[in-house]
């Protein structure tokens, strides 16, 4: 397969934006706050930040290096870089993981469309009267509605991926990220000035370390991979569209920092409001959708801000979903020679179908492995496939590419990477060991 014709990112900033677009999504604004609320608040935030710093960054750089060095998607990368076919299992697991995540991701992303529209309807008045929880409950148990929004979201995602990377994705991200940032800042200002907000700030920032358990660590680890789009090959795939003279160290740094900043800000907007309005911090997956409408209802031009926020959440989810489908479709395109359009539509349709039982499980059934179907999909992806994938990815970059890795990272010495030695040992020993311990301890501990 000739690489001369491989699509590439339009510019350096284009890549950073697209990779941030992959990273920043529901993971930051929906999942991070609700997991923080369920897992002890500030102590969880603290553990999360440590994991991002030592493990997240290490894996991010490893994935980008593997992608760029091979110029292939997750499976092909290992095929090109190693003679041992067993490594390709890592890529395979990643492709499966991408499909599993996208199946329920599309469901939750559909909620943002519903809420953007509902901002103009009765959402504000219901939330003002304290009914946001019931409103959310009634919506997610209406399976037909949930599936309709899921399908709309998935069709849009497939359409973009079928059209190819480049222009579209990059342009959407350029506008979305600054807008999201601005609206989060406005939300924070409103949330922290609500009466009773101090308790939320305390919950979010003052850690009680007795709340950290083996499960907490695994949840934080899985969330770090989920939020940074790691451990399943999405960043390998995105890295494969990078040019040889891009600086992947600074790119990794920007992407990891921006993703973490947005998650942190989202929590900062949500927890003060949670306590000010008497919502339970451990309320679960509905937390963002239950809390924020109440904040908007207490703001001037609340309808406008509410709609703007959910539209941005939709965009954030959209750019992430695109990368998920891209990671899956790249396999069928690169390795089986399918056209981009065929790979996108066929796999996209299959993944949408897999999402339907997740949508239904919000109403109680079906179950799988003794939990709701959607919970089972989440468990499989972020507590099993991503940690395992990440272990093999860092081991591969650290040991299997040992003779050429420094050259790859620094683009043949074009850039300097002062912490190279630290990174290499993080990748070879510290990160895989830490992930393995957290994994074993979290699953069986």
Strand ranges, E, within 184-340: none
Mark 249-268 with x for binding to ligand PHE (rule: CB under 6 A) and - for no binding. Answer: --------------------
Say how many residues touch ligand PHE, by CB under 6 A: 15
User: What per-residue string of b and e applies to 123-156 under the rule 16 or more CB within 10 Å gives b?
Assistant: bbebbeeebbbebbeebbeeeebbbebbbebbeb
Query: Judged by CB under 6 A, which of 16, 17, 23, 266 binds ligand PHE?
Result: 23
Question: Which of these ranges, 117-125, 189-197, 316-324, 418-426, lies near ligand PHE under the rule CB under 6 A?
Answer: 316-324
Query: Judged by CB under 6 A, which of 17, 47, 81, 101 binds ligand PHE?
Result: 101
With respect to ligand PHE, which residue has the nearer C-beta, 229 or 344? 229
With respect to ligand PHE, which residue has the nearer C-beta, 275 or 318? 318
Query: Judged by CB under 6 A, which of 36, 58, 70, 229 binds ligand PHE?
Result: 229
Q: Left, alpha or beta for 256 (phi > 0: left; psi -120 to 50: alpha)?
A: alpha
User: What per-residue string of b and e applies to 199-233 under the rule 16 or more CB within 10 Å gives b?
Assistant: ebbebbeebeeeebeeebbbbbbbbbbbbbbbbbb
25 binds ligand PHE (CB under 6 A): yes
276 binds ligand PHE (CB under 6 A): no
Query: Judged by CB under 6 A, which of 14, 19, 20, 22 binds ligand PHE?
Result: 22
103 binds ligand PHE (CB under 6 A): no
Q: How many other CB atoms are there within 10 angstroms of residue 244's CB atom? A: 11
Q: Which two tokens stand for residue 1?
A: 């397969």
Minimum distance, C-beta of residue 301 to ligand PHE, in the bound complex (Å): 27
As a whole number of angstroms, the distance between CA 23 and CA 21 comes to: 5
- Say if CB 373 and CB 347 are below 8 A apart: no
Minimum distance, C-beta of residue 97 to ligand PHE, in the bound complex (Å): 8
With respect to ligand PHE, which residue has the nearer C-beta, 294 or 348? 348
With respect to ligand PHE, which residue has the nearer C-beta, 26 or 308? 26
157 binds ligand PHE (CB under 6 A): no
Strand ranges, E, within 81-188: none
State the sign of the Cα–Cα–Cα–Cα dihedral 408, 413, 416, 418.
positive
The binding site for ligand PHE (CB under 6 A) comprises: 22-23, 25-28, 101, 226-227, 229, 232, 234, 320, 323-324
């Amino acid at each position: 397969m000739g690489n001369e014709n491989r699509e590439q990112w339009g510019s350096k900033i284009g890549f950073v934006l697209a990779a941030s677009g992959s990273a920043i999504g529901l993971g930051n604004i929906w999942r991070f706050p609700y997991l923080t609320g369920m897992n002890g608040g500030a102590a969880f935030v603290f553990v999360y930040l440590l994991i991002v710093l030592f493990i997240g960054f290490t894996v991010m750089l490893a994935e980008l290096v593997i992608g760029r060095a091979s110029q292939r998607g997750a499976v092909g990368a290992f095929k090109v870089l190693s003679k041992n076919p067993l490594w390709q299992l890592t890529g395979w697991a990643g492709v499966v993981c991408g499909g599993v995540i996208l199946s329920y991701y599309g469901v939750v992303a559909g909620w943002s469309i519903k809420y953007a529209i509902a901002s103009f309807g009765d959402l504000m008045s219901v939330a003002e009267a304290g009914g946001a929880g019931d409103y959310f409950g009634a919506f997610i148990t209406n399976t037909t509605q949930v599936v309709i929004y899921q399908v709309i979201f998935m069709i849009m995602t497939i359409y973009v991926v079928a059209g190819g990377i480049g222009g579209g994705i990059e342009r959407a991200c350029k506008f979305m990220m600054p807008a999201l940032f601005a609206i989060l800042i406005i939300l924070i200002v409103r949330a922290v000035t609500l009466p009773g907000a101090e308790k939320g700030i305390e919950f979010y920032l003052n850690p009680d370390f007795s709340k950290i358990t083996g499960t907490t660590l695994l949840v934080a680890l899985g969330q770090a991979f989920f939020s940074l789009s790691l451990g399943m090959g999405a960043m390998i795939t995105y890295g494969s569209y990078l040019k040889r003279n891009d600086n992947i160290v600074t790119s990794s740094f920007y992407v990891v920092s921006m993703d973490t900043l947005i998650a942190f800000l989202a929590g900062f907007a949500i927890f003060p409001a949670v306590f000010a309005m008497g919502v339970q911090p451990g309320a679960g997956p509905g937390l963002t959708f239950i809390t924020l409408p109440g904040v908007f209802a207490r703001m001037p031009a609340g309808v406008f801000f509410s709609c703007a926020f959910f539209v941005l959440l939709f965009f954030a989810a959209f750019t992430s979903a695109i990368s998920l489908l891209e990671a899956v479709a790249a396999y069928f395109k690169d390795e089986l020679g399918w056209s981009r359009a065929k790979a996108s539509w066929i796999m996209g349709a299959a993944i949408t179908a897999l999402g339907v039982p997740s949508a239904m499980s919000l109403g109680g059934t079906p179950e799988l492995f003794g939990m709701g179907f959607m919970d089972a999909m989440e468990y499989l992806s972020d507590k099993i496939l991503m940690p395992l994938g990440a272990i093999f990815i860092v081991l591969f970059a650290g040991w299997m590419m040992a003779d050429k890795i420094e050259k790859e990272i620094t683009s043949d010495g074009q850039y300097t990477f002062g912490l190279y030695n630290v990174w290499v040992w993080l990748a070879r020993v510290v990160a895989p060991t830490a992930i393995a311990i957290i994994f074993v301890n979290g699953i069986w501990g």
